[in-house]
Amino acid sequence: MDHFLYHNGILHAEDVAIPEIAAMVGTPFYVYSCATLTRHYHLFEEALAGLDHLVCFAMKSNSNQAVIAHLAGLGAGMDVVSGGEYLRARAAGVPGERIVFSGVGKTRDEMHMALTGGIRQFNVESEPELIALSEVATALGVTAPITVRVNPDVDAKTHEKIATGKSENKFGIPIAKAPAVYALAASLSGIAVVGIDVHIGSQLTDLEPFRQAYQKVRELTLRLRAEGHDIRRLDLGGGLGIPYERNNSAPPLPTEYGALIREVFHDLEVEVEIEPGRLISGNAGLLVTSVIYVKEGEGRDFLILDAAMNDLVRPAMYGAWHDIVPVKEPAPGDEQRPFDVVGPVCETGDTFAKQRQMTPVAAGDLVAFRSAGAYGAVMASEYNTRPLIPEVMVKGDQFAVIRARPTFDEIINRDTVPSWG
């Protein structure tokens, strides 16, 4: 469910008409719904009610300060994967004890930053990282709380570019090797073991891969405890998918996911962390764009939009589907016909959809890409010297620009031409 509905024939974000925002900020732009963010966060809280737990929002899905601050105000922790994301979380008011630091390539500078600024835990992904973290912590006179991310070699049955839990992926330590790595961690003066971490991928639409991974984590927990390690926290990652295509079957609900967690871990007396991103922010955002031209081609027609692959790269990178809807509601029975929906960037890959059945629109009309709140703005670029597009947040009948579109002068003036003569 989201809060982008038609009222009186016009698509609204909560109680704000999309054309009203477009008139103020121009197109293209992203718009986020506070009500949808709140609802989706609470779904996870309700799913884990009664368990000792923390829901950490995966900031890589959407790292705008307003989004982070809104979720933090609801009680969310944050899962960060870079020093920049860590600083964004802190700037948004998230306390260090609610920030988990993930990622395969943490640098010593990033370790230092988090250890001095406050951190809940590091999810360590290799022995060299573990040793480096111990050295940084020891030099600071502190201990670094850690989990070890284990790779359970489970096929998440998702897109190959967002699968993270198979043996061929770069993430984590092979689960069979974990006892030796925990023994190493226990021997290091700068390390304090607090738990285990696992994350097998993104956009999962079936609970069975979670079940397989979590059973392996359960077995590892019992073994590590028997070997003397204080395993009191399980970071179970994120990855639950969202329904990008409205007419397809829906992925499992957070309540079903929570029931699985209870089934596997109910008797272990552990604190559970989860790191949802897409399911919280994905359906909370739209990408709104204008039609520049309707072009008749050889055997096919094109909708040429003012949004492009630099604004929303998921279709070009993953072949991803987004429902594309007109902002003006079609009349019942309006005929649809196929269009290739494309942007103006000089790449054949700048194609959002091929032969998509749509109600015909005209130049100047607004269309919206649904489910664009995750991995949209955060993956955008200025390719072709196209400015990063505005982000807008809506709450009830109010809206605010939460990231402005830069001017061309601001973009160009970042460059410096050397005066070599």
Confidence category of residue 403, pLDDT binned at 50, 70, 90: very high
Q: pLDDT tens across 143-158, in order?
A: 999 999 998 887 655 4
- pLDDT score for 155: 63
- Mean residue pLDDT of the chain comes to 93
Indicate whether 56 pLDDT > 60.
yes
346 classed as catalytic: yes
Which of 331, 346, 412, 417 is labelled catalytic? 346
- Is the model more confident about 158 or about 17? 17
Residue 373 structure tokens = 């709140």
- pLDDT score for 286: 98
Q: What is the mean pLDDT of residues 374-380?
A: 97
- pLDDT score for 161: 44
- pLDDT score for 235: 96
Q: What is the mean pLDDT of residues 214-229?
A: 96
CA-to-CA separations, 190 to 121, 185, 227, in angstroms, rounded:
13, 9, 20
Q: pLDDT tens across 256-281, in order?
A: 999 999 999 999 999 999 999 999 99
Indicate whether 163 pLDDT > 70.
no
Between CA 249 and CA 138 the distance in angstroms is 51
387-391's contacts with Cβ under 8 Å and 24+ in sequence apart are: 387/411, 389/28, 389/29, 389/30, 389/307, 389/311, 390/25, 390/26, 390/29, 390/30, 391/29, 391/30, 391/31, 391/32, 391/64, 391/66
Confidence category of residue 241, pLDDT binned at 50, 70, 90: confident
Indicate whether 396 pLDDT > 60.
yes
Q: pLDDT tens across 115-146, in order?
A: 999 999 999 999 999 999 999 999 999 999 99
Indicate whether 47 pLDDT > 70.
yes
For 34-280, the fitting CATH number among 3.90.79.10, 3.40.50.300, 3.20.20.60, 3.20.20.10 is 3.20.20.10
Looking at the chain, the whole-number percentage of residues with pLDDT higher than 70 is 95
Confidence category of residue 171, pLDDT binned at 50, 70, 90: low
For 4-31+282-412, the fitting CATH number among 2.40.37.10, 3.40.50.1000, 3.40.50.1820, 1.20.1070.10 is 2.40.37.10
The 3-class secondary structure across the chain, one letter per residue, is CCCEEEECCEEEECCEEHHHHHHHHCCCEEEEEHHHHHHHHHHHHHHCCCCCEEEEEEHHHCCCHHHHHHHHHCCCEEEECCHHHHHHHHHCCCCHHHEEECCCCCCHHHHHHHHHHCCCEEEECCHHHHHHHHHHHHHHCCCEEEEEEEECCCCCCCCHHHECCCCCCCCCEEHHHHHHHHHHHHHCCCEEEEEEECCCECCECCCHHHHHHHHHHHHHHHHHHHCCCCCCEEECCCCECCCCCCCCCCCCCHHHHHHHHHHHHCCCCCEEEECCCHHHHHHHEEEEEEEEEEEECCCCEEEEECCCCCCCCHHHHHCCCCCEEECECCCCCCCCEEEEEECCCCCCCCEEEEEEEECCCCCCCEEEECCCCCCCHHHCCCHHHCCCCCEEEEECCEEEEEECCCCHHHHHCCCCCCCCC
CATH 3.20.20.10 in the chain is located at 34-280
CATH 2.40.37.10 in the chain is located at 4-31+282-412
